[in-house]
Amino acid sequence: MEFTAGQIAALLQGTIEGNAEVKINKLSKIEEGVPGSVSFLSNPLYTQYIYNTEASLVIINKDQELTAPVKTTLLRVESAQNAFTRLLEMYNQVKLNKTGISPQSCISETATVGTNIYAGAFAFVGENVTIGNNVKIYPHVYIGDNTVVGDNTMLFSGVKIYSDTVIGKNCIIHSGTVIGSDGFRFAPENNHQKVPQIGNVIIEDDVEIGANCAIDRATLGSTILRKGVKFDNLIHIAHNVEVGEHTYIAAHGVIAGSTKVGKNCMFSGQVGIVGHLNIADNTIITAQSGISKNISKPGEVHMGSPAFDANKYRKAYIHFRNLDNIVQRIDKLEKEKI
């Protein structure tokens, strides 16, 4: 793909300073710019690179002041960050706009398939599956029987979707993720017999799931990821968990069975939550925290393991760091008494 700086300016509704006919065919960081690339400057820490970058076009804020001449063509916009993000989105849409069904794929005769889909080599679509319009199914994806995949959803290579799963529109599921595997449930009182997991997983619209995640099916009913949920890589969601709308979970997060997480929560990396809890809306949990009790008040920040209110935790941690000195002082006082 090749565009002129002027064409990009028209797309982003910006103003060109320099050569509007310069050709652009790639994207780059400003400090790693090469001829033919477009970059951007929004962080003041990177301003120094504008004066010597080899990028052919740099997007900058409309009010960006420069203290020396530049050799690159500039594109001034209201927000360089937003404009470059939009450019990335357009680039990604073109790059990922695959269509057609590979002769090496296998789609059941009982499946219902929408228009303009892509199915790569060795993709498998089972019995009675419903695939929406503009769905992208990359090579080696497995979609089990009776599954529904909504319009514009993208399943990257190696995704495995067990039977009876429901996936909404505009979802993105990255490589290696498994959806609908059995929940971890056994009956110790019955010679540790496995408890059958006959529920399913429901993923609503606009959800993105990172690579190598595992979303377990419910024992009965459904494990549910509500609209707009975003997962990093390596997340485990156990059976019958419900994650509320627009909740974000960073890498290595683990939520045990039947816990209900509210809307607009943000969990940092390696957060662990035990089962059968309720987590209120807008809760923030810091990295490596362990949640063992309900969080009932919306908007709180929790940290530690076991976690509690972050402000109280920070104060307590100061005392913890001084604990050895305190013990030594107490020992000294006791010896003086003797």
Q: Which residues are catalytic?
A: 239
For residue 109, what are the contacts with CB-CB under 8 A and spacing of at least 6? none
For residue 91, what are the contacts with CB-CB under 8 A and spacing of at least 6? 1, 27
CA distances from 193 to 113, 181, 190, 222 (A): 39, 17, 6, 22
User: Which structure tokens are listed for 322?
Assistant: 């001084």
Rounded Cα gap, residues 95 and 99, in angstroms: 11
Q: Which residue from 138, 135, 196 is spatially nearest to 167, judged by alpha carbons? A: 135
DSSP state of 295: B
Centre a 10 Å sphere on the Cβ of residue 112 and count the other Cβ atoms it contains: 12
User: Which structure tokens are listed for 121?
Assistant: 């080599």
Burial class (CB in 10 A: 0-12, 13-18, 19+), 203: buried
